Amino acid sequence: MELFSRRRALELTALGFGRVALAHLLAETGAAAPPVYNDLRNRSGHFPARAKAVIQLVQNGGPSQMDLFDPKPMLAKYAGKPHPDGVEIHQPGNKNTLLPSPFSFRKYGQCGMDISEALPRQAEIADKLCFIRSMHTEHNNHLEGLNMLLTCKIFPGRPVMGSWIAYALGTENQNLPAYVVLRDPTGYTVGGKQLWANGYLPALYQGVEFNMSGSPVHHLQPSEPLPPGAQRNSLEYLRKLNALHRDQRPGETELDSRIQNYELAARMQVEAMDVLSLKQESDAVKKLYGIDDPVSGQYGLRCLMARRLVEAGVRFVQVTTRPGQPWDHHSDIRKGLPVISQETDQGAAALVQDLEQRGLLDSTVVMWAGEFGRLPTTQNAEGRDHNRNAFTLWFAGGGFKPGLIYGETDDFGYKSVVDRVSVPDMIATVLHQLGLDHRKVQYAHGGRLETPADVTVTGARVVGDLVSNEVQAA
């Protein structure tokens, strides 16, 4: 028996704190009230959406653009010579001598994108990817860089992109979280939970970690085995208790939503387990992701799970690398970079191919990005230090132009110079593809209307050149 209609259930939502402050903020500015949410129901954006889900492949450590996506012959030509302007360094052990890439490059696909031998699988699908070579960010330290990449500010405290999107759009499948994080079972990357922190948004919009083995979320299953039917009995008893309690307290909608949450939780127990089961996946699919490969299997599995979650209606999925910061090659990049490349290359490429085969790529934005790039000069023995002035990232699907190579860095790959794209621009553009005007996604905090790309400070703009659809404004 349904306790109340679904529609009614969706109406029963406790409003967050934001509303109080907001009312006054608006009375002051005379603006129309942007809605304040504290629920996950599915809602539409400001204009028709080009995509409805995002998969974010976070590459911790700062992948080296000139060893992966942005070849610089000048480095070989002037190998060992100083960089003419000098470069901004971050850590000890730097020499101002140009370090050529130890990896060979080739052009791939119709688009002719240069990709190094380190990423053979991504090279094969170059025509499906939209590369931005002219990214730049603001800080040379990992944590700050990660905060920037995900929240558009270097200091902690702001909500990450996934939280903003879950806040603005809710989610299609109420039996699963709106925002799921798939991390390596052996631990966290640098930044830990800050990578999916809701900041000042209600706790509801925090990323929910799914474990890859056993129980996907904490406490999904009873802590000790119960006889068949025992939990159903208990929930039925609880429902009766709560109904008695509520009947004596008419009009308390919060009690209703809590009753409903137990039902959601019960359904989540089933669906979350299902979504992580590989039973329905064919051998060909498993092979595509390299699930059985000892090197790329773990990451491949997370990429496959990401697809399953998006297929099941999850709004935002974040996939992290193995613990630490595996793209951080301060010395011997020749040896270090291929290790993490091999771990992640196949899964990332397979994800794009698989989404496309299933007709999901069109409605899903896949994003591959680290927190910054690396320097053209030498650190320690053949390593590279952090570089906030240039890095390459790619998008696939969701209206991002396939086979586009956007922007350029300077002769040595130190600084992005042509068609520069800032992190806030990038965030604004992703939101745009989801039908959101980033300026209109608002939350009152600390006496200010906060927005995902904080346009008044960052000057963020949607980069229309990157997408095949028209840029819209709400």
Calculate the alpha carbon distances from 118 to 64, 276, 343, 344, 352 in Å.
11, 30, 11, 11, 18
Q: Toward another protein, which CB reaches closer, 202 or 347?
A: 202
- Single-letter amino acid code for the residue at 415: K
Q: Toward another protein, which CB reaches closer, 119 or 431?
A: 431
Calculate the alpha carbon distances from 299 to 66, 145, 291, 321 in Å.
24, 23, 8, 7
Q: Is 332 in the site for another protein (CB under 8 A)?
A: no
Q: Do 319 and 54 contact (CB within 8 A), yes or no?
A: no
Q: Toward another protein, which CB reaches closer, 209 or 354?
A: 209
In the complex, minimum distance from the CB of residue 224 to another protein, in angstroms, rounded to a whole number: 7
Among 2, 5, 249, 359, binds another protein (CB under 8 A): 249
Q: Toward another protein, which CB reaches closer, 27 or 278?
A: 27
Q: Is 265 in the site for another protein (CB under 8 A)?
A: yes
Q: Toward another protein, which CB reaches closer, 304 or 421?
A: 421
Q: Is 112 in the site for another protein (CB under 8 A)?
A: no
- Single-letter amino acid code for the residue at 50: R
Q: Do 454 and 446 contact (CB within 8 A), yes or no?
A: no
Q: Is 411 in the site for another protein (CB under 8 A)?
A: yes
Q: Is 252 in the site for another protein (CB under 8 A)?
A: yes
Q: Is 309 in the site for another protein (CB under 8 A)?
A: no
Only one of the segments 58-66, 212-220, 291-299, 401-409 lies at the binding site for another protein (rule: CB under 8 A); that segment is: 212-220
Only one of the segments 65-73, 115-123, 326-334, 452-460 lies at the binding site for another protein (rule: CB under 8 A); that segment is: 452-460
Q: Toward another protein, which CB reaches closer, 109 or 192?
A: 192
Phi, psi (rounded to 5 degrees) for 324? 85, -135
Q: Toward another protein, which CB reaches closer, 63 or 216?
A: 216
Q: Is 270 in the site for another protein (CB under 8 A)?
A: no
Q: Toward another protein, which CB reaches closer, 112 or 464?
A: 464
- Token couple for 452: 């995902």
Q: Do 325 and 306 contact (CB within 8 A), yes or no?
A: no
Q: Toward another protein, which CB reaches closer, 255 or 285?
A: 255
Site for another protein in 135-194 (CB under 8 A): 141, 143, 155-157, 185-188, 190-194
Only one of the segments 122-130, 199-207, 327-335, 400-408 lies at the binding site for another protein (rule: CB under 8 A); that segment is: 199-207
Among 1, 32, 244, 284, binds another protein (CB under 8 A): 244
In the complex, minimum distance from the CB of residue 422 to another protein, in angstroms, rounded to a whole number: 5
Q: What angle do CA 261, 187, 388 make, to 5 degrees?
A: 105
Total interface residues for another protein by CB under 8 A: 104
Neighbouring CB atoms inside 10 A of 267's CB total 14
Neighbouring CB atoms inside 10 A of 472's CB total 15
Beta bridge partners of 207: none
Only one of the segments 102-110, 123-131, 341-349, 459-467 lies at the binding site for another protein (rule: CB under 8 A); that segment is: 459-467
Q: Is 313 in the site for another protein (CB under 8 A)?
A: no
Q: Toward another protein, which CB reaches closer, 206 or 392?
A: 206
Among 89, 285, 295, 471, binds another protein (CB under 8 A): 89
Q: Output Rg (C-alpha) for the chain, integer angstroms.
A: 23
The HSE-up count of residue 192 (CA atoms within 13 Å, CB side) is 2
Q: Toward another protein, which CB reaches closer, 235 or 285?
A: 235
Site for another protein in 18-37 (CB under 8 A): 20-21, 23-25, 28
Q: Toward another protein, which CB reaches closer, 209 or 328?
A: 209
Among 10, 111, 220, 339, binds another protein (CB under 8 A): 220
Neighbouring CB atoms inside 10 A of 130's CB total 25
Q: Is 459 in the site for another protein (CB under 8 A)?
A: yes
Q: Is 307 in the site for another protein (CB under 8 A)?
A: no
Site for another protein in 420-449 (CB under 8 A): 420, 422, 424-425, 446-448
Site string for another protein, 34-63 (x = CB under 8 A): ----x-------------------------
Among 4, 6, 8, 14, binds another protein (CB under 8 A): 14
Q: Is 257 in the site for another protein (CB under 8 A)?
A: yes
